[in-house]
Structure 1
């Protein structure tokens, strides 16, 4: 009797699983299971088939490796950057808008259809579907070097090659002050023309040392100290008349813009707005639009009867710069170190902060908030990698109104706990860098990083807490 009881209990459990399958399976699969049962197939076999069969099927399917980041505050793009924007007709934007409701962009469809038949095409599409920080440096020269023969800091060649690979993937893209191949060739061959112990530890040669030491100090918010390392380079620039005074004004700006536009339209196909994908590509385009802002924004102060061209150029450059920041985030994110990205982030963030006030219409306010929260999130991610981003993040957060600061804490999870243990920023930052475009040279001091840190970085956040406690904007 006990044996029969156990058998009935087991059968009841199997029957219950079968009923659950019929309830939960898709309609077509449930019909298949029901037809199998009515044809005389054992219930236990049917249950086992669907349970084990699904596992085998899932194991046979390649995992989804495509990835995109999601905007922290509002998922949609602001309307004012949607019209007449070549960057929104790009492959990277099509890839970044994947993949809801079965709607795949052109490149994603091409990737699926050519994966088996055309591997080279598939490889070509991969950068548009994966963030840059997921890549690895593959270089035979790097694999052959033995850094331990050049430095006494460490004897682990594998570790130091990994460190060099990380440098070449990240910092080198922005501060390429030496030629990588010559450096690695001499390191592997024990030659000293382009490599030395000082090179391996810090820099390539004296002329590059001035640049790199200055860059490193800049990243620590200490460009006042790093200035001495570039003084000699500036003297050389004076000797070749690089800093000779030139005529400024709308006519001169037009000449420079014409030359830049000619260069921009003549870019190689992989560097054009339609096909950019790598961080270095974004850096090139961001710097181009930064130059346009630097040329034309000071001309907006020339009076009420000024021509409309400066305003048109500034408006377009801001739109494109904001678009590039958003596309960069969608594809690559802001957590991986990128020395250059903090510059466009500050340009965009400063404009948003200056544009937000009590008279800002609600649609424009939400668009500005969306961009500002994204900028703050980017600086918060970069602050884990270098001190300059930490200072800039605090300045941006300090300049926010309590309502926007509360939104930042909610949307970007920017906690204040680190502020308790960090030293006062104003004692550590000594920088003359103006963090945004200065329209009037008489106002340059108010834009320098040191003065901004003194004014905003130590701002008490208690009012932000009070605003967030009584805020109903999250409901």
Structure 2
């Protein structure tokens, strides 16, 4: 009962209300994300999303960037790679090149000479198609090969009657076991399979004459010589003259640092370039002019050499009012051989004396002052060694006691560690893709070191005139040992087995000339007092140097010829000619073969001197003197291959009057007694006989 009452006391339960039904908001349908199979190259590099729109995607449009796709519109990256591979394979199957037209065009601009490169660039700028330009280039190359292939694979041939001396064909002749000998003779061998085989085995300088190469220095195309001279306005002509100077004369006798000269000439700076120096260089470069008047007739006011020399002398006089400068000294060195080779050696030697006076005034031979900057120290030190080499050569040639008892205080750097101290000249041979260059740092250092020995020899020879100071035989034999040690320590590229460039061959010609002179002096003075062992040593050295000298001269002829302008060759051709004349005059020479061998060498040397006489007036006079000593039969052979040239009376009179007006120059007031005597001695030097 109670339980029933309790249940009634509770409030009746009411059913729970139904929960409201959740109605989701209406869905907005978004467009599906477009998948981009290939992104453009710009988005790929920046690693951002690319929408793949063409021709320009959204990211590139917003960023104002160039939009480039590596694939076609409906192509994946894998498909593009496969397509390009198939195209290349098809091109190879059809005999085409694996390189694109643009790549070939780039290589053509890079590898060809400047003139061709400018023409190609002009065609590109004119809007021509690359394949069209390449087609023209290939057609032009075919014509060029038809006309020039024999020229660039050039090798002189000996005359039919020439006989190679038997004594030169011995196994111990190192010059006939050299690369240049092998390349020169294998080139003409019928067993040679192909030109490709030759080019695989030998570098261009072993297969082509040096005259076929061209100096490649971009600065030579940028200089404006007309800004430095009043003689000519034709910059292109003067650039070619200066280019020839650096390829030829500057290689054999450097008087200044080429790099500093060209840099300042290009930039208009007067620190290491001057109008006087530029005109002096151009006066020397007239040897490369095509017309004979400009080359030889230095007395003719219409000739270029006369005009450049006159301008140089005018500028020299203006230098009197200025402080001595390094460029004035360098110009004096350049003008010295210009006048010498024009047979005006009194004026030339006075320029040499003034160069020496200026060197003492500037102090370049001593320890250089600390206040000089790095460029000045470099140029002063380099010029000091150029002066040392040139003056030493002249004093040795004129059989005068050496002016320098000590070399310049600036040491010559090790070419292996500091090759930048020395200059370098690069060449390109026709149809060669690679650059060629000689090892000028080692060459320059070797020359100067050899001249230090030659100066000691020259001093001993001059002391021998005074019995109280005459050097002993042991001292002279020691100098012979120093010469031979110098040869054995040459760098590999200057060893007899590798030399090929004219200046490298001339380095060895100079060495053997020095050795022959020393041996002849020893034999003539001490021949009866030398020990049997010493006498054998001297005679062997003399004989080896004589045969080596002839061997090098014959190799020089075969590889480079004697018709290339080279003032240094006047000396060596003269030595070769007079050696042959002496042999022909030897009564012990009775064998017909020996006589014909000597005559053949005489004809080569005489022809070379005659050809060089067309470039230098002094060489022309040497040629006339040599012809007076040749027999009528030998002269007849010479005249068959050269054109005889004489000097008429009016020309001789004009030349003599011009020389009378060329007074010795001066620029430094020389008060030092030693220097004053130097000028007198130097100006008194004359080339006799």
Out of 489, 509, 520, the position equivalent to 1:266 is 489
CA 1:241–1:140: 2 relative to 1, 3 Å: same
Secondary structure of 2:215's partner? Answer: coil
Q: CA deviation at 1:359?
A: 4.4
1:151 corresponding residue in structure 2: 229
Secondary structure of 1:345's partner? Answer: helix
Out of 196, 208, 227, the position equivalent to 1:112 is 196
CA 1:71–1:377: 2 relative to 1, 3 Å: same
Secondary structure of 1:308's partner? Answer: helix
2:671 corresponding residue in structure 1: none
Matched, 1:78 2:165: yes
CA 1:249–1:216: 2 relative to 1, 3 Å: farther
Out of 408, 413, 428, the position equivalent to 2:638 is 408
Larger Rg over CA atoms = 2
2:308 corresponding residue in structure 1: none
CA 1:407–1:272: 2 relative to 1, 3 Å: same
Which runs of 5 or more residues in structure 2 are unaligned? 1-141, 282-325, 361-387, 389-401, 407-454, 461-469, 661-684
Aligned partners of 1:60 and 1:328: how far apart in 2? 27
CA 1:205–1:71: 2 relative to 1, 3 Å: same
CA 1:202–1:260: 2 relative to 1, 3 Å: same
Aligned partners of 2:686 and 2:577: how far apart in 1? 14
Aligned partners of 2:550 and 2:655: how far apart in 1? 29
CA 1:239–1:420: 2 relative to 1, 3 Å: closer
1:308 corresponding residue in structure 2: 536
Mean alpha-carbon deviation: is it higher for 188-197 or for 297-306?
A: 297-306
Q: TM-score, normalised by structure 2?
A: 0.49
Aligned partners of 2:336 and 2:191: how far apart in 1? 48
Q: How many equivalent pairs are there?
A: 366
Matched, 1:398 2:520: no
Out of 283, 304, 308, the position equivalent to 2:506 is 283
Aligned partners of 1:372 and 1:114: how far apart in 2? 32
1:53 corresponding residue in structure 2: none
Aligned partners of 1:158 and 1:281: how far apart in 2? 30
2:209 corresponding residue in structure 1: 131
Q: CA deviation at 1:222?
A: 2.2
Aligned partners of 2:221 and 2:687: how far apart in 1? 43
Asked if the contact 2:476/2:522 (under 8 Å) is kept, the reply is no
Which runs of 5 or more residues in structure 1 are unaligned? 1-57, 116-120, 431-447, 453-475
Structure number with the higher helix fraction is: 1
Q: CA deviation at 1:139?
A: 0.4
CA 1:291–1:114: 2 relative to 1, 3 Å: closer
1:369 corresponding residue in structure 2: 599
Secondary structure of 1:254's partner? Answer: helix
Instruction: Write the deviation string for residues 202-250 of structure 1: whole angstroms up to 9, x where unpaired.
Output: 1672222332222112111222332212224556588863579556343
Asked if the contact 1:73/1:370 (under 8 Å) is kept, the reply is no
Aligned partners of 1:329 and 1:114: how far apart in 2? 20
Instruction: Write the deviation string for residues 429-450 of structure 1: whole angstroms up to 9, x where unpaired.
Output: 99xxxxxxxxxxxxxxxxx985
Q: CA deviation at 1:193?
A: 1.0
Secondary structure of 2:487's partner? Answer: helix
1:325 corresponding residue in structure 2: 553
Asked if the contact 1:141/1:181 (under 8 Å) is kept, the reply is no
Aligned partners of 1:450 and 1:425: how far apart in 2? 21
Q: CA deviation at 1:287?
A: 0.8
Q: CA deviation at 1:77?
A: 1.6
CA 1:136–1:100: 2 relative to 1, 3 Å: closer
Asked if the contact 2:187/2:198 (under 8 Å) is kept, the reply is no
Aligned partners of 1:101 and 1:241: how far apart in 2? 51
Mean alpha-carbon deviation: is it higher for 133-142 or for 226-235?
A: 226-235
Instruction: Write the deviation string for residues 394-423 of structure 1: whole angstroms up to 9, x where unpaired.
Output: 11111112232233234xx23335455763
Aligned partners of 2:155 and 2:168: how far apart in 1? 20
CA 1:179–1:309: 2 relative to 1, 3 Å: same
Q: CA deviation at 1:85?
A: 0.7
Aligned partners of 1:321 and 1:71: how far apart in 2? 17
CA 1:403–1:210: 2 relative to 1, 3 Å: same
